[in-house]
């Protein structure tokens, strides 16, 4: 009797275990089917956001171009949105944006690349662990702080040497933007050079090359894809900078190549117009979206260029 009772209990336990297993498996199957859908929706958030931005920008920009000819907008050298006879030429803004970005890259390019070379090829592991975080601290400083630094320190410093420089000019914000993007160029370039196999360095040194020759003739060509990408991304960052140029470069919409004079960039114009002076539905209000769409296309083209360069010059080891 006892044996039969134990057998029945074992059978009941086994059936219960099987039932529990089926229930858990059923819940697991539901979860497995639900999780990919949830992850897809989360991944689509960025896509949906981008589509929403594009629709908003270009819908409102289209309304602007119904009032102002697109040819006049992209070829006009005069921007007077608040005058009695307003003119909406975007070239002064494009000119200011390009000049400030070029100045920034003239500062950030050499300094960032040389910093990356030192960290990758010359610095000891201990020195690298100290210097790299210190360098990257620059990337964490708020841009409005950089803007006041440019306006209250760099501009007076430049004017003490060159008195003809205007109180607001494109030179000082360009220099400070260059300082701001040094960490981006240095960090990305250093990562690209560190990824070059040591066997290539050892081979060059074994053939009699010096450390400097190995760096410039072996390591940099091998890491060229990452280095160029860091430069292109740095330019994109400079093009999209807002607070530094808003504070330090002034709001003069001059179409000039004199870097000692005040100029306005596309981002600074957007800040000015969105400050509340332009009534909704007016032409100047819609010009905000036309300039923003132009800036969007600029940065998009720079990112496409970065991806193309990265793929074209990529080296796999």
Q: How many domains would you assign to the chain?
A: 2
Joined tokens for residue 266: 């596309």
- Please count the other Cβ atoms lying within 10 Å of the Cβ belonging to residue 255: 16
Look at phi and psi of residue 157 and say left if phi exceeds 0, alpha if psi is from -120 to 50, else beta: alpha
Domain boundary among 45, 66, 87: 66
Q: Are 34 and 166 contained in the same domain?
A: no
Tokens of 300: 């998009």
- The pLDDT assigned to 107 comes to 92
What is the structure's pLDDT at 161? 87
Residue 110 shares a structural domain with residue 35: no
**Do 263 and 166 fall within a single domain?**
yes
Quick one: 12 and 96 in the same domain? no
Residue at 40 is within a domain: yes
Q: Give the number of C-alpha atoms closer than 13 A to the C-alpha of residue 271, restricted to the C-beta side.
A: 17
317 occurs within a structural domain: no
Tell me which of 66, 93, 119 is where a domain ends: 66
In this structure, are residues 276 and 184 in contact, taking their beta carbons and an 8 Å threshold? no
What residues have CB less than 8 Å from 70, skipping those under 6 apart? none
Note the pTM of the prediction, 2 decimals: 0.81
**In a shared domain, residues 55 and 85:** no
The domain containing residue 80 runs over which residues? 74-312
Who contacts 146 (Cβ-Cβ below 8 Å, separation ≥6)?
176, 177, 179, 180, 243, 244
* Same-domain check for residues 9 and 138: no
Shared-domain flag, residues 241 and 103: yes
Residues 6+ apart with CB under 8 A from 242: 143, 267, 268, 270, 271
In this predicted structure, what is the pLDDT of residue 34?
Answer: 75
pLDDT at residue 13, as a whole number: 58
In a domain, 236, yes or no: yes
What's the pLDDT at 99? 92
User: Could you tell me the CATH number of the domain that includes residue 191?
Assistant: 1.10.3720.10
Contact 261, 252 (CB under 8 A): yes
pLDDT in 10s for each residue of the chain, 317 residues: 545 555 555 555 556 665 555 555 555 566 667 777 778 888 888 888 888 888 888 888 888 888 888 888 888 888 887 777 878 888 889 998 999 999 999 999 999 999 999 888 888 888 888 888 888 788 788 888 998 899 889 999 998 888 888 888 899 999 999 999 998 898 888 888 888 888 888 888 888 878 888 888 888 888 888 888 888 888 888 888 888 888 888 878 888 888 888 888 888 888 888 776 667 777 888 888 889 888 888 888 887 877 777 777 666 65
Write out the two tokens for 235. 């330019």
82 lies in the same domain as 166: yes
Q: Which of 28, 50, 66 is the last residue of a domain?
A: 66
On whether both 213 and 298 belong to a single domain, the answer is: yes
């Amino acid at each position: 009797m006892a044996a039969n009772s134990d057998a029945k209990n074992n059978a009941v336990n086994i059936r219960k275990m099987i039932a529990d297993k089926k229930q858990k498996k059923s819940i697991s199957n539901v979860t497995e089917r639900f999780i990919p859908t949830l992850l897809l929706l989360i991944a689509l958030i960025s896509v949906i956001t981008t589509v929403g931005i594009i629709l908003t920008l270009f819908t409102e920009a289209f309304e602007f171009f119904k009032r102002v000819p697109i040819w006049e907008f992209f070829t006009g050298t005069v921007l007077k949105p608040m005058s009695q006879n307003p003119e909406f030429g975007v070239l002064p803004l494009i000119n200011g944006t390009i000049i400030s970005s070029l100045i920034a890259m003239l500062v950030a390019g050499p300094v960032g690349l040389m910093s990356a070379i030192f960290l990758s090829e010359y610095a000891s592991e201990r020195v690298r662990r100290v210097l790299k975080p210190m360098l990257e601290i620059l990337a964490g400083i708020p841009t409005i702080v950089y803007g006041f630094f440019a306006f209250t320190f760099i501009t007076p410093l430049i004017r003490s040497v060159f008195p003809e420089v205007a109180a607001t000019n494109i030179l000082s914000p360009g220099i400070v933007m260059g300082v701001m993007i040094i960490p981006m160029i240095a960090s990305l370039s250093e990562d690209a050079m560190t990824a070059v196999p040591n066997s290539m360095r050892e081979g060059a040194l074994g053939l009699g090359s010096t450390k400097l020759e190995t760096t410039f003739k072996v390591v940099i060509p091998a890491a060229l894809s990452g280095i160029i990408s860091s430069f292109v991304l740095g330019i994109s960052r400079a093009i999209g900078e807002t607070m530094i140029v808003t504070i330090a470069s002034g709001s003069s919409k001059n179409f000039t190549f004199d870097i000692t004079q005040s100029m306005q960039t596309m981002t600074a114009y957007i800040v000015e117009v969105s400050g509340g002076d332009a009534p909704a539905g007016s032409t100047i209000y819609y010009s905000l979206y036309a300039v923003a769409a132009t800036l969007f296309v600029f940065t998009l083209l720079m990112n496409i260029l970065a991806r193309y360069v990265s793929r074209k010059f990529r080296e796999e080891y």
